[in-house]
Structure 1
Amino acid sequence: MMSTFKPSEDHSVTFTGWASTGTPNLKPWGYHPRPLGPKDVEIEISHCGICGTDIHCITGAFGALPEPEIVGHEIVGKIVAAGAEFQNRIGEHVGVGAVVDACGDCKDCTARNEQLCSKKSFIFNDTFKDGHGGKTYGGFADRVRVHGDFVYKIPENISLAEAAPLLCAGVTTFAPLIQHQAGPGKSIGVIGIGGLGHMAIQWAAAMKCDEVVAISSSDSKREESKKLGATKFIDSKNPEDMKAAAQSMDIILCTSFAKDADWAALLNLVANNGKMVLLGLPEAPLSIEAGAFVFRQVSMVGSLIGGKKMTGDMLDFAAKHNIRPWIETMPMSDCNAAVKHVMEGRPRYRVVMETGAAVRA
């Protein structure tokens, strides 16, 4: 099946990928990318991670996607073609995250928060807003075209497979720790030890925080958390553990939670004047008494991935401190098996799909 003709499509080439069809079962599909503009690069994809957001989009948890739609926003590959402004980058191994364009001039862009720009473009289920048109498609594919300003050179000491999850899970957990000044003298908690949480523990440990507390409902994560750098483990199902840890953490990153999560109990782990940073997206509205915030000057804030500089800083930090995601690799040709593996909660802790280009990388 091919997309219908549109003036913003380059009909001289066809990219192929695995597209959503309204069910978790993805199907092969081809599309024409937008014409290669002066600021665009074309990337031959070698690796793409599978994020929980991809799963939510595929299953319709965030609303129905138009059909067909290619997801995937933890993309790594090699630049094989480029517009006039990025010819010197052909041959580079690069990564692409969730945001692939922004206006560059607004208050958020000048503050290096391009991910908050009202004219930003996401890597899939979106359109480019630069006046040249074109729909965006993600990394469950053989190639992708995006703006060169939003691709990041992969440090040489990070493998391409390990680099993929850094483009989302990595920067999503790194950014709030930087923004809220994690480091010596701070106690950091991480709720949920999974694809995001296992990265957050490593960052906090490398930032030399006084305490790095892993908080999980699965006691099986206890030993793995210590290997990642946690100094303490709390079983969130154990009332004694929760009582002993009350009001003890300056910053808590909330990366995952049960559908019936006791938000008041989780917020009670935050120290006076501390912050709960919400990284995961609850599917239902939160219900918390206002007094939980007012009487202890506690705040709950959100954090969305990171801007261009933050992403570059994160990659440099990972390279310098030898921080890597724990990954399992699977062939992209078995995309549906890989998605099923993630949906069943089996990975420790991230699945990265490899294309045929991975062999040549």
Structure 2
Amino acid sequence: MTTNTPKTMQAQLLSSYNTPYTLLTVPIPQPSHPHDILIKVTAASYCHTDLVLASGQMPGLPPSFPHIGCHEFAGTVVSHFSSPSAQARSFAIGDRVGVPGRAFHACGSCFECQGEAGSRDPVARDDEGYSVHCVNAGNNGLSRDGGFAEYAVVDARQIAPVPEDVSAVEAAPLMCAGVTIYAALKRARLEVGERVGIMGAGGGLGHLGLQYAGKMGFRVLGVDAADAPLKLARSLETGARIVDARAEKATDVVQQIGAEDGKQDVGEMGLDAVIILPESQQAFDYGMTLLKTHGKCVVVSFPEKGFHISSRDIVFRDISIFGSLVGSNRMLREMLNFSAEHGIRALTKSFPLAKLNELVEEYHKGGGGKLVIDLALE
């Protein structure tokens, strides 16, 4: 460690399921592996998965209590392991980096790390010897401690440089919400001018998706079913059409799209792809109805009881359904540069570290956008 780094830090710890976080003074973690880098956390974003984990809906996670959550954060490099790897040496002291949860200490030898899966899926592809899908890896904020603290140890292979004109508070939400929705759009493999729908358009991922999809050249339909997220989605100057699912039937929207496109055949009307973000069967069904024949449904959410899928959709309408978790480290860097180039930012509300529980209360209000811990705030 550098001589000016303290030995203890403030951290928000979860001591059991369904309880508030507790702000405590704990030892600063130490780099213990050649890939390890110690960073000073500057911003940490709250994700729906943090809520899922804290409520005990992710079996086996966290592996033990007390636990420091947050798998989307940003910070500056403080120190390396005594014998750093080449990847770690590529980051200098003081460099600004973004940290996704996946994948800490990827094994380098499994099916995923050897690139067998990535060779067939460019969204998942990384350099041989590392994969965000490594089943043996840890995950900051999930299986190990994360960013709701003043310092964190990260794997040099998982992090990405933050562009100069992107602040820490802007970068943190992109480490999960940003790369997840960006990768989901990439996985849909759409052509410029094709139509994509985003279910949950006013949420953390959704409002970023509206921006990415528009800048990618797609015709975008955003759907939500709550006042505050709809207001947020409509406030963005993306050119997307925003639909209130409570007021407009999916079949009516399909007819309107068909009329716009000059289509007569029912199978030709609708969207080329839809991204499912809410953990709602109604949202899933609405999105499936919006698709034209041969359309693609990309599922990002993972409700505890899953989704009911109509066999008629996949057999008679030839709808393809596939999931998308996160993007590779290459995809993370591409997303950050795309965000910087096109001015894509999450709409955020910031809280100091000491007020993490107030942030959680705000999250439950369902206002949309992203809530972020800004460690520069007192």
Bucket of the pairwise TM-score, normalised by the shorter protein: 0.7 to 0.9
Structure 1 match to 2:45: 49
For the pair 1:115 / 2:132, whether they are aligned, the reply is yes
Is the contact made by 1:170 and 1:199 (CA closer than 8 Å) also made in structure 2? Answer: yes
Aligned-residue sequence identity (percent) comes to 27
2:190 counterpart letter in structure 1: A
**Does residue 287 of structure 2 align to residue 292 of structure 1?**
no
User: Residues 196-228 of structure 1, C-alpha deviation per residue, up to 9 Å, x if partnerless?
Assistant: 10011100000011x100111135545543424
Question: SS of the residue aligned with 1:274?
Answer: strand
Q: Distance in 2 between matches of 1:257 and 1:40?
A: 35
Which residue does 2:107 correspond to in 1?
A: 103
2:278 maps to 1:249: no
Secondary structure, in 3 states, of the residue corresponding to 2:341? helix
**C-alpha distance in structure 1 between counterparts of 2:307 and 2:188, whole Å:** 23
For 2:232 and 2:44, the matched residues in 1 are separated by 24
Instruction: Pick closer, same or farther for the CA change 1:176–1:68 going to 2, 3 Å.
Output: same
Which TM-score applies when normalising by structure 2? 0.82
SS class of match (1:57): helix
**Residues 1:271 and 1:101: Cα distance change in structure 2 (over 3 Å):** farther
Counterparts of 2:252 and 2:331, CA distance in 1: 36
List alignment gaps of at least 5 residues for structure 2. 1-5, 119-124, 256-268
1:133 is aligned to: none
Distance in 2 (alpha carbons) for counterparts of 1:116 and 1:274: 26
Are the counterparts in 1 of residues 274 and 298 from structure 2 also a CA contact under 8 Å?
yes
Further displaced range: 279-288 or 230-239: 230-239
Structure-2 separation of matches of 1:31 and 1:59: 26
Contact 1:16 1:141 in 2 (8 A): yes
Is 2:193 the counterpart of 1:190? Answer: no
Deviation string, structure 1 residues 32-88 (Cα, Å, up to 9, x no partner): 635432221000011100011011111223246432111101111110101233345
Give the aligned partner of residue 350 of structure 1: 370
Cα 1:60/1:181, change in 2 over 3 Å: same
1:9 alignment counterpart:
none
Is the CA contact 2:29–2:151 (under 8 Å) kept in the aligned structure 1? no
DSSP 3-state at the match of 1:215: strand
Distance 1:35 1:154, change over 3 A: closer
Kindly state the Cα deviation for residue 342 of structure 1 after the two structures are TM-superposed: 1.1
Matches within 5 A, 1:145-224: 145-192=153-200, 193-209=202-218, 211-218=219-226, 221-222=229-230, 224=232
CA–CA distance in structure 2, aligned partners of residues 338 and 220 of structure 1: 17
Q: Distance in 2 between matches of 1:241 and 1:234?
A: 9
For the Cα contact (< 8 Å) 1:189–1:252, is it kept in 2? yes
* Structure 1 counterpart of 2:95: 92
Aligned to 2:3: none
So what's the TM-score if we normalise by structure 1? 0.86
For residue 315 of structure 1, report the CA deviation from its aligned partner. 0.4
- Give the whole-Å Cα distance in 1 for the aligned partners of 2:112 and 2:344: 29
Identify if the C-alpha distance between structure 1 residues 343 and 31 changes in structure 2 by more than 3 Å, giving closer, same or farther.
farther
Whole-angstrom CA distance in 2 between matches of 1:265 and 1:351: 27
Residues 70 and 141 of structure 2 are in contact (CA less than 8 Å); yes or no, is this contact kept in structure 1? yes
Could you list the runs of 5+ residues in structure 1 that have no partner in the other structure?
A: 1-11, 127-135
CA distance in 1, matches of 2:57, 2:100: 21
**Secondary structure class of the residue paired with 2:282:** coil
